[in-house]
Structure 1
Amino acid sequence: MDGESAPAFRFNFGKEEAEQVQEEQGPPEYDEPAEELVYRPEPGVPFFTEPVEVAEGLTLVKGTISSDEAATILKDSRVAASDLVPGKYEGGFKLWECAADLCKAVLARYGLTAAELAGAAELHSQLQGKKVLELGCGHGLPGIVALMAGAEVHFQDYNGCVLRRLTAPNVIANMERLPRPRARPAAKYFAGDWRLVGEHLTGRGYGGHYDLILSSETIYSVPAQERLLECIKRLLQPPHGVALVAAKRYYFGVGGGSKSFKELVERDGIFETSVVAEQVEEKGSGNVREVLLLKFPAAIHPYFL
């Protein structure tokens, strides 16, 4: 690791479970079929939220679903004790720290202020009319920021029940807080594995390509990194589309992180990549949270020709 030590960040499981996950990575079966979900509120199912500050002066709300509730929804008791069950669940009901970092990166890149995003009756932004995709969205806060700024946003998560019980109601709860005259752009929801979702979006009349792709805390393992990069390559719009990927530099026990993902992108040679934001973790861990920018080089790679 070039003389750097990997700090002890881990998902919510112990050493034995981490070692088991590493063994199972070769590779787990990710075959959840891709589909577009049309959200309809379920009668009698409450949705509770709490405020979360995603940038200075910008407070959104996030749904509150406990690990036990997630296990019940997914019908898998393992989810109550672990945030990662390969091929089954990837932490979608949790709000991870890098989501706020990604929200800040969207604001900074597109010249948005918290005050105008949350309070302006009319908003003219660089994201107006753009097409945005958030991969592995969970609560969908970065995508919600883009939606508030006037973009059409598609939200993707591996588990359809995460989209139904968390993402879609969370999008609605946040958009309802906007000033009434503000236009409400379209939001769509897609479930399934990244490979199958990529094929679905390019082959079913959805337009297939995005001006901005967002993803937060999804590159925790090498297999996850490879699948995410292939999906971005399939769906990012050349020549000006960009992807913003937020992650910790290291994920102890599962082998991934922003450092190894950046190296993977550089070896692949399709995109240029750079670190556009970083935040040192608190509590003495020594780990760093980073936001990576992926963009097309000046000369488009033959892959896209």
Structure 2
Amino acid sequence: MAFKFNFGGAKDTDMEPRVAPLLNPVRDEPESHEITPHSQSSLRENAHDTVQLGDLQVFKSIATPSSSLSPAGSDIVPSVYEGGYKLWECAIDLAEYLRKASLCKGKSVLELGAGHAIPSIVAAMQDATVLCIQDYNEEVLRDVTIPNLTTNTSNVPVRYFAGGWKTLPYNLRRRFDIILSADTIYANQQCDSLADCICRTLEVGGLALIAAKKYYFGVGGGTAAFQEALRLHAKNQNISLRIRTVLEIRDGLSNIREIIEVQRE
């Protein structure tokens, strides 16, 4: 599965995230809260990049994190910044998969850890009826996610949520037909939190598609740990899930990447 960035420099993807050293114990994640978009100028009228998905061109924000949010050289700062200013390669894998599978027409869609929200843009273009988008950082939503969505789509109502996954299901107050997430399970804590959130927000008969690396060397996490967490939370919540790998990518450019499909039965 090939993808192309029309960037002026190197690809905005790496084999493994550069995680800032954790100097203090991990704090409880912030409670989720809905944010209201301010008026946004079109990316077409300002400096921007584009992402090419087959014959589909998607406009992409080139905003970067402040030094207070992300120290130099760090892609992720645990409990502070979850990497949303960077476009991760598994998000492109997931967007390509959605583009070819055409799963979202007439569906309610939730993207968790959205960042640039390229998969959600594809879902909107496929006429999803409802779109909810979450990212850990409000700054990412305002600088990256919202400009991307408002530039590339116009026909789908969108709600935006900042904060963690633990309280998100209670603020959403609904379940979804399709849940999307990419490169969000780089550590065991993320695997556990995401699995719990999906179990609480996936509609019966619905699908969750999780694009991630098989292993995240040096930082933990990966698709095997995530599937184990899913089975544990499904058992605890007394729900039935069918879990399978629908795509494996071995392109020699990075660690093995997979897309995991989770169906609630």
Length-normalised TM-score, structure 2 = 0.84
Unaligned runs of 5+ in 2: 1-13
| Equivalent in the alignment of 2:90 | 98
The whole-number CA distance in structure 1 between the counterparts of 2:246 and 2:70 is: 39
Alignment of 1:25-174 (within 5 A): 28-41=26-39, 48-54=47-53, 56-66=54-64, 70-72=65-67, 75-76=68-69, 78=71, 80-110=72-102, 127-151=104-128, 152-174=130-152
Deviation by residue 1:156-191 (Cα, 9 ceiling, x = unmatched): 001111111110011111126xxxxxxx11111111
Deviates more, 1:96-105 or 1:218-227: 96-105
Larger relative strand fraction: 2
Q: Could you tell me which amino acid in structure 1 is paired with residue 263 of structure 2?
A: K
Q: Could you tell me which amino acid in structure 2 is paired with residue 71 of structure 1?
A: S
Which of the numbers 193, 200, 219 marks the counterpart of 1:227? Answer: 193
2:242 paired with 1:244? no
**Aligned-pair CA distance for 1:31:** 3.0
Q: Could you tell me which amino acid in structure 1 is paired with residue 81 of structure 2?
A: Y
**Aligned-pair CA distance for 1:59:** 1.9
Which of the numbers 160, 173, 181 marks the counterpart of 1:189? Answer: 160
Alignment of 1:217-296 (within 5 A): 217-238=183-204, 240-268=205-233, 269=235, 270-283=240-253, 285=254, 287-296=255-264
Deviates more, 1:257-266 or 1:80-89: 257-266
Q: Which has the larger radius of gyration?
A: 1
Cα contact 2:31–2:166 (8 A) shared by 1? no
| Equivalent in the alignment of 1:10 | 16
Cα contact 2:192–2:230 (8 A) shared by 1? no
| Equivalent in the alignment of 1:120 | none
Aligned to 1:278, the other structure's residue is in SS state strand
How many residue pairs align between the two structures?
244
**Aligned-pair CA distance for 1:77:** 5.2
**Aligned-pair CA distance for 1:105:** 1.9
Report the aligned-residue RMSD: 2.3
Length-normalised TM-score, structure 1 = 0.73
Aligned to 1:237, the other structure's residue is in SS state strand
Larger relative helix fraction: 1
The whole-number CA distance in structure 1 between the counterparts of 2:157 and 2:37 is: 13
The whole-number CA distance in structure 2 between the counterparts of 1:77 and 1:37 is: 22
**Aligned-pair CA distance for 1:259:** 2.5
The whole-number CA distance in structure 2 between the counterparts of 1:164 and 1:225 is: 26
The whole-number CA distance in structure 2 between the counterparts of 1:93 and 1:77 is: 10
> % of aligned pairs identical?
36
| Equivalent in the alignment of 1:300 | none
| Equivalent in the alignment of 1:113 | none
The whole-number CA distance in structure 2 between the counterparts of 1:31 and 1:136 is: 13
